[in-house]
Structures are given as C-alpha cells and as structure tokens.
Amino acid sequence: MARFRPAYLLVLGAAALMAGDYDALLGAMKKAWPDVSTLAVVCDAGQSKTELAAFTGAAGGMKVIVVDVKGPQDMGKAIGTLAGRKPDAVVLLAGDRVAGDGSSAASFLIQRMAALKIPTAATTEAGVKQGAALGIGPGTGGKLMSNAKVAAVAGVTVPAGATAL
C-alpha cells in the first residue's frame, strides 16, 4: 500500500486548487473565442512546474505549447517561437518569475502577441491592466475582465459581461 507524505498531499491539493483557477479562464476563453484550440504559455518551466501542470491539466483536449524561458533575455526568442507556431492565444501564469503578471517580460509578450493578432489571457486584474485581452480567476475576485483596447488590436471580441479596464 502506498503511503503519501503530508507535503506530497499539500502539493496535490495546491495543483487541484490552481486547476480550478484555470477552469474559469479556459471556460471564458472558449465562450468568447470558440475557435481557440492551441494555447501557449511562456514561463520558467522548471520554477513553475506546479502551476504549469495545473494549467495543462485544465486545458483538456486543447493543444498547449510551452516556451521555456530562464530570464527576460530569452523573451525575443520566445516571441520568435510563438510567431512561427501561431497559437490561438497565450495564457500568463500569474506567479511565474520571468513572464508572470506585472513583469516587464509579460508586457513585452502581450504587446508583441497583440501585434501578431494573438490575444493574451490572465487570471489576475494586474494581467488585464497590463494588456491581457481577457482575465478571470482568483486575482480578479472571480469577475470577468477585459482590456478592450488590446482585444481590438489582437482582433478578438470582448467577452459579454466583462468589466472593461
């Protein structure tokens, strides 16, 4: 019989809670942008393992492209990779140390993706203020938010009922 250590159970519980964070976001994305089937995440994959696992688990049958970056100096290469792969949307991992919400790397990513007509989504209000076209999750108080200006640049519709920032 397998024996679980309390720390392992804590990690499993945290992953389940984070998956719920992404369920709301992915549900809102599917409703607002029904043609979205390929998502991308730019993050330090090694440092964001738990959150990345929660996100990919919540993505269900969607294809997920993970672009691993170790610092802001890698963002140019990440943009090049995404420009070549053409995901339908990019999702910010809020706690990522490189490209998480509020970081200069996330601002750079959001701007470049919008110019390529690829919208960005986030789970925090900070991500939406920064330019994510859509946001919902614990960092928005559960409210659906949108950045209409960036959504227009990215060529996507603002979700019905979203609070505009």
Residue type, 89: A
Q: How far apart are CA 30 and CA 144, in angstroms?
A: 13
User: What is the structure's pLDDT at 3?
Assistant: 43
Cβ pair 128, 135 in contact under 8 A: yes
The token pair at 51 is 């959150």
User: What is the structure's pLDDT at 21?
Assistant: 80
pTM of the model as a whole: 0.87
Closest listed residue to residue 144, CA positions, set 124, 130, 126:
124
Closest listed residue to residue 96, CA positions, set 129, 74, 117, 63:
74
Residues 6+ apart with CB under 8 A from 155: 117, 119
User: What is the structure's pLDDT at 20?
Assistant: 75
Cβ pair 139, 101 in contact under 8 A: yes
3-state secondary structure the chain: CCCCCHHHHHHHHHHHHHHHHHHHHHHHHHHHCCCCCEEEEEECCCCCHHHHHHHHHHCCCCEEEEEECCCHHHHHHHHHHHHHHCCCEEECCCCCCCCCCCCHHHHHHHHHHHHCCCCEEEEEHHHHHHCCCEEEEEECCCCCEECHHHHHHHCCCCCCCCEEC
User: What is the structure's pLDDT at 9?
Assistant: 39
Q: How far apart are CA 165 and CA 149, in angstroms?
A: 9
User: Would you write out the chain's pLDDT as a tens digit for each of its 165 residues?
Assistant: 444 344 443 344 344 445 578 999 999 999 999 999 999 999 999 999 999 999 999 998 899 999 999 999 999 999 999 999 999 999 999 899 999 998 999 999 999 999 999 999 999 999 999 999 999 998 999 999 999 999 999 999 998 899 998
Q: Please name the fold of domain 22-164.
A: Rossmann fold (3.40.50)
